[in-house]
Structure 1
Amino acid sequence: MRVNTAAWIDSPYADLVVRDAPMPELEPGRLLVEVRAVAVNPLDAIIQSNGAVMYGWLRYPVILGEDVAGVVVGVGAEVTNFSVGDRIVAYAIGLEKGRDAISESGFQAYVAVDAALAAALPDTLPFEEAAVLPLAVSTAAAGLFESEQLGLDYSGLANSAPRDEIVVVWGGATAVGGNAIQLARAAGYRVITTASAHNHDRMSQLGAEAAFDYHDPEAADRIVEAANGSVIAGILAVAVGSAEPCLRIARATGATRIAMASPPVSFYEQPRRPGLSLTRMRLFLRLGTRTAMLQLRSRARGIRASFIWGSAIATSLVGPAVWGDYLGAALASGRHRAYPRPRIAGEGLPAVQGAIDTLRAGVSAQKLVVTLESTPTSS
């Protein structure tokens, strides 16, 4: 008999606590996964720091976590493309509105995931390397391909003819940025990106034709020059502070769409406790002011700037195209690389809280991963 445990967050702002959890029920279209590795994301830290500000629909206690890799131990009705024993990577979407924030969230020994948001792993790809992918791939795909974002053509992923249109990815060394480069290239687009100078070779390996240092105050101008009059199909702005230079690029090149993966301020600046502290009030004032000004300046030039919601692909045609048709085969062939590099932050669910705390302190071109051993069964 299998026994489940999870890293629970019992109330807003609280530390995670590991204890028993109910075994997820296996509903049609879902897989039951024995988790072998999880990755932490800024979203986990933001939910823990913000309380009910962004995810007001959560009813505590809940379980955080979106990135999982593991072994299928149960297959629901209507699932035809996975079997018990398969090694997979999956996007756990329990935190989204209308989903189950207990059975469908990742920081636990067993999790229920949508088969449509899972991909098979080649035997050569370790679980800890695969666990970096789910939220990053999904957010990148939503930003690039959803009609409300850049709306790029994904119909020929990995098989499309090269295009002369360019996608600009500001923040290519981030998890979202590195996967966006690969997805855009797989769809046939040229890519120009930004990253710290020591990451430029890596950006080239992922498929970018040019990379510029975002620390350079002239980086936006250098990107415009490198485009050399080619059509800019869209601009993906990743990381805090990326929207402003992306808007300058759009104005100079005639691009009409910017998809933003990050808010204009860092939520890590606020204290992780309830109440309207002066720091929190200032943060949300800056957030509101900068967002409003960005929208006004964008619309004045006919540019649409919109924030990405990665889970949008779960209810659109983008999800099956990326997760079902592309990712598993691309990982097996090496066309898509697991990016960024995993940094092992510990073993076992008790290590997850420390990984989130480390993430708040800053991590560059890496993703923090916690490994889990195979779960013993009780008699």
Structure 2
Amino acid sequence: MSPRVIPSIIGVIVSLNAAAWLASPRADLVVRPADMPVPGRGEILIRNRALAVNPLEVKQGTGDLMYRWLSYPMILGEDVAGVVEAVGPDVTRFSAGDRVVAYAVGMERGRRHDAEGGFQLFTVVREDLASPLPESIGYTDAVVLPLAVSTAATALFQDDALALVPPTPGPAGTGTGTILVWGGSTSVGMNAIQLAVAAGYRVIATASARNAGFLRDLGASDVVDYRSPDVERDILAGLSGESLAGVVAIGPGSGAPAVRIAAAAGAKRVALLSPPVSFGSIPRRGRRSAAFIRTMSRVAIGQLAIQLRARAAGVRAGFVWGSTLMANEVGPMLWERYLPDALADGRHVCAPAAEVVGDGLESIQHALDRLHAGVSARKLVVTL
């Protein structure tokens, strides 16, 4: 074979794209070819080196529970880390060859669903939803961040959530008061703790005793065991007379105690990130079942009860959708002004810990199955 032909063949091979497609509700992902995404204005194309899986993707795979506007077949996936392959017009922060971690928003309404889906070899992401990745942080470590840190920032700083003072450049934030993070050992919780501390707030978190030490290392002043029968009383006692600036409620069943604590402490805002009950009992395969109907009925009743209790107490309890930061100032604050420096100097830790469960797009389904069965205090990651 002519030496001139070899580079040409290699170029064709590396330009091919493939994705893990969800072809129908409650089906397994199938790996097959996908069009090569092309970055548009303000976008970059990433050759993915690591992907992470999230509960939202599990819920969508369980049967149209979240993203009703998507059509089949679809490419799920939000957490990506890799190398910039190409940049679109007007991109100024990145060049080809840069190492990045990014939030892929292809599952969101109004986006290019296939091009911006994460579960593929190449993904288009918005420049303002990406951060440079220092050489000291591996792709598998960084990829735990995007959806979790974006959701945490939305809950803490967005005007229609807790509306807290965001972090400022440098180590000292200007926020005052205490934030309660119920569900501190979750992916969102670990990032919410770090962001709130960076913004200047004191943090009380709930978690099991085995995770308490790590949450303190992340900056939590107090960690209360959520399984204690006195958990609400202990949290209120831990305020020590300080004002409660707001509550972030993460995990099934967290909304009701969060509203009660806010009402008792005089806080006016609760950011809700989870349904009242878990979707874990819904079978992923087969037709919609009695378990599906029971679970969704309990969700509706539970949400109504939380809203009625919050309204009676004068507490604003609103659900948070992490991707809304791409339409307001929270997105640039997080991805352009906070994360690049905070990751470079170690102020923001990539948490939770990554657990690599396979290599290649074919491993994503295994990761989703593992997550559906239950995972605590770690993020499941697939390498590419």
Contact 1:158 1:188 survives alignment (8 Å): no
How many Å apart are 1:327 and its aligned residue?
0.4
Please name the residue that 1:26 is paired with.
39
- In 2, Cα distance between equivalents of 1:158 and 1:299: 38
1:342–1:274 CA distance, 2 compared to 1 (3 A): same
Contact (CA 8 Å) 1:182, 1:336: kept in 2 or not? yes
* Structure 2 counterpart of 1:66: 78
Query: Match for residue 3 of structure 2?
Result: none
CA separation of 1:287/1:161 partners in 2, compared to 1, >3 Å: closer, same or farther?
closer
2:30 counterpart residue number: 17
Kindly report the root-mean-square deviation, in angstroms, between the aligned alpha carbons of the 2 structures.
1.1
**2-side partners of 1:200 and 1:102: how far apart?**
40
Corresponding position: 1:249 with 2:251? no
1:231 aligns with 2:243: yes
Query: Equivalent of 1:35, from 48, 53, 56?
Result: 48
Question: Which residues of 2 match residues 1-379 of structure 1 at below 5 A?
Answer: 1=12, 2-51=15-64, 53-154=65-166, 156=168, 158-161=170-173, 163-273=175-285, 275-372=287-384
Task: Quote the offset at 1:149 in angstroms.
Answer: 0.6
CA distance in 2, matches of 1:108, 1:11: 17
Question: How far apart in 2 are the matches of 1:316 and 1:162?
Answer: 21
In 2: Cα distance, 1:151 partner to 1:163 partner: 11
Q: In terms of mean alpha carbon deviation, does 185-194 or 148-157 score higher?
A: 148-157
- SS of the residue corresponding to residue 62 of structure 2 reads helix
Give the secondary-structure state (helix, strand or coil) at the position aligned to 1:69: strand
Letter in 1 for 2:241: G
Deviation sequence 1:342-371 (CA, Å, 0-9, x none): 001100000000000000111100000000
CA distance in 2, matches of 1:109, 1:163: 41
Question: How big is the shift at 1:155?
Answer: 5.6
Give the SS at the match of 1:265: coil
Once residues 288 and 85 of structure 2 are traced to their aligned partners in structure 1, the CA distance between those partners, rounded to angstroms, is 45
Once the two structures are overlaid, the 10-residue window that deviates more, 119-128 or 269-278, is 269-278
Q: CA deviation at 1:147?
A: 0.7
Look up the SS of the partner of 1:56 in the other structure. Answer: coil
Distance in 1, matches of 2:175 and 2:41, equals 40
- Per the alignment, do residues 48 and 161 of structure 1 end up closer, same or farther by CA in structure 2, a change over 3 Å counting? closer
Q: Could you say if the C-alpha distance between residues 66 and 3 of structure 1 is closer, same or farther in structure 2, counting changes exceeding 3 Å?
A: same
Identity of counterpart residues, as a percentage?
49
User: What is the SS of the residue equivalent to 1:12?
Assistant: coil
Query: Partners in 1 of 2:271 and 2:169 — Cα distance?
Result: 20
Q: TM-score, normalised by structure 1?
A: 0.96
CA distance in 2, matches of 1:9, 1:105: 11
Q: C-alpha displacement at 1:243, in angstroms?
A: 1.0
Tell me the residue number matched to 1:375.
none
Cα distance in 2 between the residues matched to 1:197 and 1:109: 39
Q: In structure 2, how many angstroms separate the alpha carbons of the residues matched to 1:91 and 1:34? A: 14
Deviation at 1:234, TM superposition (A): 0.7
Q: What do residues 140-178 of structure 1 show as CA deviations (whole Å, max 9, x unaligned)? A: 000001111111111626454454400100011100000
Structure 2: which amino acid aligns with 1:125? I
C-alpha separation between the residues in 2 aligned to 1:277 and 1:210? 42
Structure 2 residue runs of 5 or longer lacking an equivalent are: 1-11
Do 1:37 and 1:128's aligned partners in 2 also have CA atoms closer than 8 Å?
Answer: yes
Whole-angstrom CA distance in 2 between matches of 1:309 and 1:221: 29
Contact kept? 2:167, 2:173, Cα under 8 Å? no
Letter in 2 for 1:195: A
Kept after mapping to 1: 8 A contact 2:53/2:368: yes
Aligned residues: 371
Structure 1 segments (4+ residues) deviating >6 Å? none
Name 1:377's counterpart in structure 2. Answer: none
Any conservation in 1 of the 2:270–2:315 contact (CA below 8 Å)?
yes
The TM-score, its normalising length taken from structure 2, stands at 0.95
Output the amino acid matched with 2:359.
E
Contact 1:12 1:48 in 2 (8 A): yes
> More deviation in 95-104 or 267-276?
267-276
Deviates more, 1:322-331 or 1:158-167: 158-167
Shift, 1:273, TM fit: 3.9
In the other structure, the counterpart of 2:5 is none
